Amino acid sequence: MNYTMYRKIHRTLAVLYCLLTCAVVVQGSPTAAELLKIKWVNVPAKPPLGVKHGTFYSECMDTTVGYNIYLPPSYDTDSAQRFPVVYFLHGSAGNESRSIRLATYLHKAIKAGQVAPMLMVFANGGRNSAYIDAIDGTVLPETMIVKELIPHIDANYLTIGRRSGRAIQGFSMGGGGSLRIAAKFPDLFSSVVVYDAGGVREFDHIPTAEESRDVEKTRRKLPARMAIMGEDLAYWQETGSWYLLEKNRDRIVDRLPIRIVIGTEDFSLEGAKVVRDRLAELKIAYEFELVQGPEHNIYKLYDHAGLEGLLFHARHFGDSAAD
Protein backbone atom coordinates (compact mmCIF):
# COMPACT_ATOMS: atom_id res chain seq x y z
CA MET A 1 0.00 0.00 0.00
CA ASN A 2 1.52 3.37 -1.00
CA TYR A 3 1.55 6.40 1.29
CA THR A 4 -1.16 8.31 -0.58
CA MET A 5 -3.57 5.39 -0.29
CA TYR A 6 -2.67 5.04 3.39
CA ARG A 7 -3.54 8.69 4.04
CA LYS A 8 -6.86 8.37 2.20
CA ILE A 9 -7.80 5.38 4.33
CA HIS A 10 -6.63 7.23 7.45
CA ARG A 11 -8.79 10.24 6.62
CA THR A 12 -11.82 8.07 5.92
CA LEU A 13 -11.44 6.23 9.22
CA ALA A 14 -10.88 9.51 11.08
CA VAL A 15 -14.09 11.00 9.70
CA LEU A 16 -16.07 7.84 10.51
CA TYR A 17 -14.64 7.88 14.03
CA CYS A 18 -15.65 11.52 14.47
CA LEU A 19 -19.18 10.71 13.41
CA LEU A 20 -19.43 7.75 15.78
CA THR A 21 -18.08 9.71 18.76
CA CYS A 22 -20.06 12.87 18.02
CA ALA A 23 -16.91 14.85 17.28
CA VAL A 24 -18.86 16.12 14.30
CA VAL A 25 -21.96 17.41 16.00
CA VAL A 26 -24.09 18.38 13.05
CA GLN A 27 -23.84 18.04 9.32
CA GLY A 28 -21.96 20.99 7.85
CA SER A 29 -19.92 21.80 10.96
CA PRO A 30 -16.72 23.65 9.96
CA THR A 31 -13.57 21.58 9.70
CA ALA A 32 -10.33 22.30 11.54
CA ALA A 33 -8.90 23.69 8.31
CA GLU A 34 -11.87 26.01 7.84
CA LEU A 35 -11.63 27.32 11.41
CA LEU A 36 -7.84 27.72 11.59
CA LYS A 37 -7.50 29.30 8.12
CA ILE A 38 -3.81 28.42 7.97
CA LYS A 39 -1.60 30.02 5.34
CA TRP A 40 0.93 27.31 4.58
CA VAL A 41 3.45 29.37 2.58
CA ASN A 42 4.85 32.61 4.06
CA VAL A 43 7.92 33.98 2.27
CA PRO A 44 9.96 36.36 4.48
CA ALA A 45 10.44 39.89 3.17
CA LYS A 46 14.05 40.23 4.38
CA PRO A 47 15.52 36.91 5.51
CA PRO A 48 18.66 37.05 7.68
CA LEU A 49 22.07 36.15 6.29
CA GLY A 50 22.23 32.47 5.44
CA VAL A 51 18.46 31.91 5.51
CA LYS A 52 16.56 30.74 2.44
CA HIS A 53 12.91 29.94 1.98
CA GLY A 54 11.77 26.67 0.46
CA THR A 55 8.59 24.69 -0.14
CA PHE A 56 7.52 21.09 -0.56
CA TYR A 57 4.28 19.40 -1.47
CA SER A 58 2.48 17.80 1.47
CA GLU A 59 0.65 14.70 0.28
CA CYS A 60 -1.07 14.21 3.63
CA MET A 61 -2.72 17.65 3.42
CA ASP A 62 -2.75 18.04 -0.38
CA THR A 63 -1.10 21.46 -0.27
CA THR A 64 2.26 23.20 -0.63
CA VAL A 65 3.99 23.99 2.68
CA GLY A 66 6.77 26.48 3.31
CA TYR A 67 9.84 26.38 5.53
CA ASN A 68 12.98 28.43 6.10
CA ILE A 69 16.43 26.95 6.47
CA TYR A 70 19.65 28.49 7.76
CA LEU A 71 22.83 27.31 6.01
CA PRO A 72 26.17 28.09 7.71
CA PRO A 73 29.03 29.77 5.79
CA SER A 74 30.86 26.48 5.29
CA TYR A 75 27.83 24.83 3.67
CA ASP A 76 28.78 25.86 0.14
CA THR A 77 32.53 25.30 0.49
CA ASP A 78 32.66 21.57 1.24
CA SER A 79 30.12 19.35 -0.51
CA ALA A 80 31.52 16.29 1.27
CA GLN A 81 30.60 17.59 4.72
CA ARG A 82 27.33 16.61 6.36
CA PHE A 83 25.67 18.87 8.94
CA PRO A 84 23.45 18.27 11.97
CA VAL A 85 20.04 19.94 11.95
CA VAL A 86 17.97 21.74 14.59
CA TYR A 87 14.24 21.99 13.83
CA PHE A 88 12.48 25.02 15.33
CA LEU A 89 8.71 25.08 15.95
CA HIS A 90 7.00 28.48 16.18
CA GLY A 91 4.34 29.72 18.61
CA SER A 92 0.57 29.81 18.24
CA ALA A 93 0.31 32.91 16.04
CA GLY A 94 3.38 32.08 13.96
CA ASN A 95 4.48 30.44 10.75
CA GLU A 96 7.79 29.41 9.19
CA SER A 97 8.95 33.05 8.90
CA ARG A 98 7.86 34.35 12.32
CA SER A 99 11.06 33.58 14.28
CA ILE A 100 13.76 33.37 11.60
CA ARG A 101 15.84 36.11 13.26
CA LEU A 102 16.94 33.35 15.65
CA ALA A 103 19.25 32.27 12.82
CA THR A 104 21.39 35.34 13.56
CA TYR A 105 22.16 33.93 17.02
CA LEU A 106 23.28 30.65 15.50
CA HIS A 107 25.27 32.41 12.78
CA LYS A 108 27.09 34.52 15.37
CA ALA A 109 27.87 31.48 17.52
CA ILE A 110 29.26 29.57 14.53
CA LYS A 111 31.39 32.53 13.40
CA ALA A 112 32.76 32.90 16.94
CA GLY A 113 33.65 29.21 17.09
CA GLN A 114 31.27 28.61 19.99
CA VAL A 115 29.37 25.85 18.20
CA ALA A 116 30.19 23.70 15.19
CA PRO A 117 28.34 24.48 11.96
CA MET A 118 24.77 23.22 11.89
CA LEU A 119 21.58 23.86 9.95
CA MET A 120 18.39 25.28 11.45
CA VAL A 121 15.00 24.55 9.88
CA PHE A 122 12.04 26.76 10.72
CA ALA A 123 8.92 24.65 10.21
CA ASN A 124 5.37 25.84 9.56
CA GLY A 125 3.06 23.95 11.90
CA GLY A 126 0.06 26.21 11.32
CA ARG A 127 -1.41 28.80 13.65
CA ASN A 128 -3.12 27.44 16.78
CA SER A 129 -2.62 23.83 15.65
CA ALA A 130 -0.76 22.67 18.80
CA TYR A 131 1.21 20.52 16.32
CA ILE A 132 -1.46 17.84 16.73
CA ASP A 133 -3.12 16.09 13.78
CA ALA A 134 -6.76 17.15 13.68
CA ILE A 135 -9.13 14.30 14.30
CA ASP A 136 -11.07 15.20 11.13
CA GLY A 137 -7.90 14.82 9.04
CA THR A 138 -7.94 18.30 7.49
CA VAL A 139 -4.92 19.74 9.38
CA LEU A 140 -2.02 17.33 9.97
CA PRO A 141 1.04 19.23 11.26
CA GLU A 142 2.56 16.29 13.14
CA THR A 143 2.38 13.93 10.18
CA MET A 144 3.57 16.63 7.82
CA ILE A 145 6.67 17.46 9.90
CA VAL A 146 7.63 13.89 10.80
CA LYS A 147 6.75 12.08 7.57
CA GLU A 148 7.31 14.80 4.97
CA LEU A 149 9.36 17.82 6.09
CA ILE A 150 12.18 15.86 7.75
CA PRO A 151 12.57 13.45 4.79
CA HIS A 152 12.45 16.44 2.40
CA ILE A 153 15.26 18.21 4.28
CA ASP A 154 17.38 15.05 4.42
CA ALA A 155 16.85 14.43 0.70
CA ASN A 156 17.65 17.97 -0.46
CA TYR A 157 20.34 19.26 1.92
CA LEU A 158 23.68 17.99 3.25
CA THR A 159 22.34 16.65 6.52
CA ILE A 160 23.29 13.87 8.89
CA GLY A 161 20.08 12.03 8.17
CA ARG A 162 19.77 10.07 11.37
CA ARG A 163 18.82 10.61 14.99
CA SER A 164 22.32 11.53 16.20
CA GLY A 165 22.35 14.46 13.77
CA ARG A 166 18.86 15.80 14.42
CA ALA A 167 17.45 17.93 17.27
CA ILE A 168 14.24 19.85 17.90
CA GLN A 169 13.29 22.96 19.86
CA GLY A 170 10.40 25.39 19.97
CA PHE A 171 8.79 28.36 21.67
CA SER A 172 5.43 28.53 23.45
CA MET A 173 3.03 26.34 21.44
CA GLY A 174 6.12 25.19 19.55
CA GLY A 175 7.92 24.38 22.79
CA GLY A 176 5.06 22.16 23.83
CA GLY A 177 4.92 20.76 20.31
CA SER A 178 8.64 19.98 20.34
CA LEU A 179 8.39 18.06 23.59
CA ARG A 180 5.28 16.20 22.44
CA ILE A 181 6.71 15.21 19.06
CA ALA A 182 10.05 14.21 20.60
CA ALA A 183 8.24 12.18 23.26
CA LYS A 184 6.12 10.44 20.61
CA PHE A 185 9.06 9.86 18.24
CA PRO A 186 12.11 9.64 20.52
CA ASP A 187 13.99 7.64 17.89
CA LEU A 188 14.06 10.71 15.61
CA PHE A 189 15.84 13.27 17.82
CA SER A 190 19.07 13.42 19.83
CA SER A 191 17.83 16.27 22.08
CA VAL A 192 14.94 18.68 22.66
CA VAL A 193 14.84 22.20 24.11
CA VAL A 194 11.53 23.66 25.31
CA TYR A 195 11.27 27.47 25.55
CA ASP A 196 8.48 29.21 27.50
CA ALA A 197 5.95 26.39 27.37
CA GLY A 198 3.72 24.37 29.65
CA GLY A 199 0.80 22.44 28.24
CA VAL A 200 1.46 19.13 29.99
CA ARG A 201 -1.48 17.96 32.00
CA GLU A 202 -3.37 14.82 32.91
CA PHE A 203 -6.77 15.05 31.24
CA ASP A 204 -9.58 13.53 33.27
CA HIS A 205 -12.09 15.64 31.32
CA ILE A 206 -12.11 17.89 28.28
CA PRO A 207 -11.00 21.35 29.48
CA THR A 208 -13.26 24.40 29.34
CA ALA A 209 -12.49 28.08 28.87
CA GLU A 210 -13.44 28.81 32.46
CA GLU A 211 -10.51 26.70 33.68
CA SER A 212 -7.90 28.67 31.75
CA ARG A 213 -5.76 31.60 32.88
CA ASP A 214 -7.30 33.82 30.14
CA VAL A 215 -10.98 32.95 29.80
CA GLU A 216 -11.82 35.30 26.91
CA LYS A 217 -8.77 34.33 24.86
CA THR A 218 -9.49 30.64 25.40
CA ARG A 219 -13.12 31.11 24.38
CA ARG A 220 -11.93 32.56 21.07
CA LYS A 221 -9.57 29.65 20.47
CA LEU A 222 -11.71 26.85 21.82
CA PRO A 223 -13.78 26.18 18.65
CA ALA A 224 -10.56 25.59 16.69
CA ARG A 225 -9.10 23.41 19.44
CA MET A 226 -12.29 21.36 19.57
CA ALA A 227 -12.15 20.93 15.81
CA ILE A 228 -8.62 19.57 16.17
CA MET A 229 -9.20 17.37 19.21
CA GLY A 230 -12.87 16.42 18.93
CA GLU A 231 -15.05 15.42 21.86
CA ASP A 232 -13.47 12.07 22.61
CA LEU A 233 -11.53 12.31 25.89
CA ALA A 234 -9.32 9.39 24.86
CA TYR A 235 -7.90 11.41 21.94
CA TRP A 236 -7.04 14.31 24.27
CA GLN A 237 -5.25 11.88 26.54
CA GLU A 238 -3.37 9.78 24.02
CA THR A 239 -2.04 12.77 22.06
CA GLY A 240 -0.80 14.63 25.16
CA SER A 241 2.78 14.77 26.44
CA TRP A 242 1.64 13.63 29.90
CA TYR A 243 0.69 10.26 28.41
CA LEU A 244 3.42 10.03 25.75
CA LEU A 245 6.26 10.59 28.22
CA GLU A 246 5.02 7.66 30.28
CA LYS A 247 4.19 5.45 27.30
CA ASN A 248 7.65 5.88 25.73
CA ARG A 249 9.64 6.30 28.94
CA ASP A 250 11.96 3.36 28.26
CA ARG A 251 12.87 4.82 24.85
CA ILE A 252 13.41 8.29 26.33
CA VAL A 253 15.45 7.60 29.48
CA ASP A 254 19.19 8.00 28.81
CA ARG A 255 18.47 8.55 25.11
CA LEU A 256 16.57 11.84 24.76
CA PRO A 257 18.17 14.76 26.65
CA ILE A 258 15.55 17.36 27.58
CA ARG A 259 16.14 21.00 28.47
CA ILE A 260 13.44 23.41 29.69
CA VAL A 261 13.94 27.20 29.72
CA ILE A 262 11.38 29.59 31.20
CA GLY A 263 11.34 33.22 32.32
CA THR A 264 10.30 34.23 35.84
CA GLU A 265 7.79 36.72 34.39
CA ASP A 266 6.36 34.33 31.79
CA PHE A 267 2.70 33.36 32.06
CA SER A 268 3.70 29.77 31.27
CA LEU A 269 5.90 29.48 34.36
CA GLU A 270 3.50 27.30 36.36
CA GLY A 271 2.94 25.09 33.31
CA ALA A 272 6.70 24.68 32.85
CA LYS A 273 6.94 23.55 36.47
CA VAL A 274 4.29 20.92 35.75
CA VAL A 275 6.47 19.64 32.89
CA ARG A 276 9.47 19.54 35.23
CA ASP A 277 7.53 17.70 37.92
CA ARG A 278 6.14 15.16 35.44
CA LEU A 279 9.65 14.38 34.20
CA ALA A 280 10.87 14.02 37.78
CA GLU A 281 7.93 11.74 38.61
CA LEU A 282 8.84 9.48 35.68
CA LYS A 283 12.55 9.65 36.58
CA ILE A 284 13.42 11.13 33.18
CA ALA A 285 16.54 13.31 33.37
CA TYR A 286 16.19 16.96 32.37
CA GLU A 287 17.76 20.39 32.65
CA PHE A 288 15.60 23.25 33.94
CA GLU A 289 16.78 26.85 33.61
CA LEU A 290 14.81 29.65 35.22
CA VAL A 291 15.77 32.94 33.57
CA GLN A 292 15.20 36.11 35.54
CA GLY A 293 12.80 38.53 33.93
CA PRO A 294 11.88 37.82 30.32
CA GLU A 295 8.19 37.81 29.56
CA HIS A 296 6.78 35.71 26.71
CA ASN A 297 9.30 36.60 23.99
CA ILE A 298 11.62 34.14 22.26
CA TYR A 299 14.23 36.76 21.35
CA LYS A 300 14.56 38.04 24.91
CA LEU A 301 14.82 34.47 26.12
CA TYR A 302 17.44 33.66 23.46
CA ASP A 303 19.44 36.70 24.60
CA HIS A 304 19.78 34.98 27.97
CA ALA A 305 19.77 31.29 27.14
CA GLY A 306 19.89 30.76 23.38
CA LEU A 307 23.60 29.96 23.18
CA GLU A 308 23.32 27.38 25.96
CA GLY A 309 20.43 25.78 24.09
CA LEU A 310 22.57 25.49 20.95
CA LEU A 311 25.45 24.09 23.01
CA PHE A 312 23.04 21.59 24.57
CA HIS A 313 22.12 20.30 21.12
CA ALA A 314 25.75 20.32 20.00
CA ARG A 315 26.84 18.24 22.99
CA HIS A 316 24.42 15.50 22.01
CA PHE A 317 24.97 15.46 18.27
CA GLY A 318 26.94 12.37 17.39
CA ASP A 319 26.08 10.68 20.68
CA SER A 320 26.28 6.93 20.04
CA ALA A 321 23.27 6.42 22.29
CA ALA A 322 21.22 8.48 19.87
CA ASP A 323 21.26 5.89 17.07
Q: Tell me the per-residue pLDDT of 78-102, one tens digit each, with 9 for 90 and over.
A: 888 999 999 999 999 899 999 999 9
d(CA 271, CA 182): 18
Burial class for 79, CB neighbours closer than 10 Å (0-12, 13-18, 19+)? exposed
pLDDT of res. 59: 98
Buried b (16+ CB within 10 A) or exposed e, 212-245: eeeeeebeebeebbbbbbbebeebbeebbbbbbb
Check residue 14 and give its pLDDT.
45
Q: Could you tell me if 66 and 43 are in contact, meaning their C-beta atoms sit under 8 angstroms apart?
A: yes
- The predicted-structure confidence for 184-198, as pLDDT tens digits, reads as follows 999 999 999 999 998
**pTM assigned to the model:** 0.88
- Residue ranges in the chain modelled with pLDDT below 70: 1-28, 209-215, 217-218, 220-221, 320-323
Q: What's the pLDDT at 25?
A: 36
- pLDDT value at position 19? 38
Residue 213 pLDDT: 62
What pLDDT does 293 receive?
87
Q: How many helices (H) and strands (E) does the chain have?
A: 12, 8
Which residue ranges form the domains of the chain, and what is each CATH number? Answer: 3-322 (3.40.50.1820)
**Which strands sit side by side in the sheet containing 51-58, from one edge to the other?**
51-58, 63-70, 119-122, 85-89, 166-171, 192-195, 258-263, 287-291
Closest CA to 258 of 243, 228, 278, 239: 278
DSSP 146: I
**What pLDDT is stored for residue 321 in this prediction?**
57
Give the C-alpha separation, 47 to 67, whole Å.
12
Evaluate whether 262 touches 290 at the Cβ level (below 8 Å). Answer: yes
φ, ψ dihedrals at 71, nearest 5°: -115, 125
